[in-house]
Amino acid sequence: MTAQLCYDDVELGDEIQPLVVTVDQTQMFFFSAATYNGHRIHYEKDWATTVEGYDDVLVQGPLQSALLARAITDWIGGRGRLVRYSVQNRAVAYPGEVLTFGGVVTAKRLEAGVGLVDLEIAGRRGEDVLMPGTATVALPRQPALARGEVDQRDGAS
Amino acid sequence: MTDDSLIDAESAARVGTVAARATGEVHRLQWQRWAAAVGDHNPLWFDADYARVNGYDDVICPPLFLQYVILGVTSLDELRPDGSSGAVSGGLAFPRAPRRMAGGESTTFHLPAYHRDEVEMVRTISSIVEKEGRSGRFVLVTWHTTYRNQRSELVAEATTSMIARP
């Protein structure tokens, strides 16, 4: 287990450790099963190409979204909290493609003593952004700094 | 709305109304199967001791799994031709735009959900608009969804969209 990421450690422009995944049809099958998703476009190539006009079956948008969220929750650790998560499906992905999920810190602020960090996030295939989005996470303060704040409040009262 | 609109009058009339209401139980095994399918082995979803050390009462439901706990049961003979159940779109069907894709989602998470929590989802249709995209016309449907637990606490709220194309 790596050390807990703290609000005070994060700087604008910091990047999330990217998550690189090549989704295959086995993973797609399990994801459809786990989400009760019967849409043929994810498992019936004839349907996906003939009826819906794609080149192959499609990686589920919610799977891309879940992978992008995984990159964030891996980065923020056990004491971090995903507060807001927003993504758009901009382009489709096919099984066998190398996808990269990551993000960059765009803002940070303290609200009622809680350290909030805004991220610009994306799922990409090479240079193509398939799934852009934004997220906000809450991160713990460094213990010494958190104590310092308590001391200041005590001193002021 | 013109005669060649992709949006039929029946669907248009449902803007502002509750599209779907559903309840379900949060279940550890279900969210762990989902997490494994995502390759997400975060110990908060799997290891109660780890979760407790990090301030929770027990393992927690991954935030993005919450949307699935309320999914109902669909008979095979009630599926749409494309195999989907229609549950996610609240029964909306666009005869002139039958191909559908998830558009996007924006969710705010307020509280953790635990094993055996009872969640009620209420989904309201916010808007139905026709748009012109790179690959032609499509319908963009937007919903607002709340998820409350058995204590009526707001666990999460989401704005979700779907794209329907001819």
In chain B, what are the domain boundaries? 9-165
* Beta bridge partners of residue A123, listed in sequence order: A101, A131
**Cα–Cα distance, B82 to B98 (Å, whole number):** 9
| pLDDT greater than 60 at residue A1 | no
List chain A domain ranges. Answer: 7-156
CB contact under 8 A, B42 and A21: no
Query: To the nearest whole angstrom, how far is the Cα of B13 from the nearest Cα of chain A?
Result: 26
Interface test with B, best of A73, A75, A116 (most B CBs within 10 A): A73
CB contact under 8 A, A83 and B36: no
* Beta bridge partners of residue B20, listed in sequence order: B123
pLDDT, tens digit, 9 for 90 and up, residues A79-110: 999 999 999 988 999 999 999 999 999 999 99
pLDDT, tens digit, 9 for 90 and up, residues A134-146: 999 999 998 766 6
CB contact under 8 A, A82 and B82: no
Q: Provide the Cα torsion B79, B81, B82, B86; round to 10°.
A: -40
* Contact A52/B at CB under 8 A: yes
The beta-carbon neighbor of A89 closest among B34, B44, B104 is B104
**Cα–Cα distance, B27 to B71 (Å, whole number):** 12
pLDDT, tens digit, 9 for 90 and up, residues B55-105: 999 999 999 999 999 998 999 999 989 998 865 555 667 778 888 776 788
CB contact under 8 A, A62 and B102: yes
Interface test with B, best of A6, A23, A31 (most B CBs within 10 A): A31
CB contacts of B142 in chain A (<8 Å) are none
pLDDT, tens digit, 9 for 90 and up, residues B127-161: 999 999 888 899 999 999 999 999 999 999 999 88
* Contact A79/B at CB under 8 A: yes
What does the angle CA B116 – CA B120 – CA B125 come to, to the nearest 5 degrees?
150
Superfamily of domain B9-165: Hotdog Thioesterase (3.10.129.10)
CB contact under 8 A, B34 and A87: no
Q: What is the pTM of this model?
A: 0.87
pLDDT, tens digit, 9 for 90 and up, residues A63-84: 999 999 999 999 999 999 999 9
**CATH fold group of domain A7-156:** Thiol Ester Dehydrase; Chain A (3.10.129)
What long-range pairs does A50-55 form, CB within 8 A, spacing at least 24? A51/B82, A52/B82, A52/B99, A54/A92, A54/A94, A55/A94
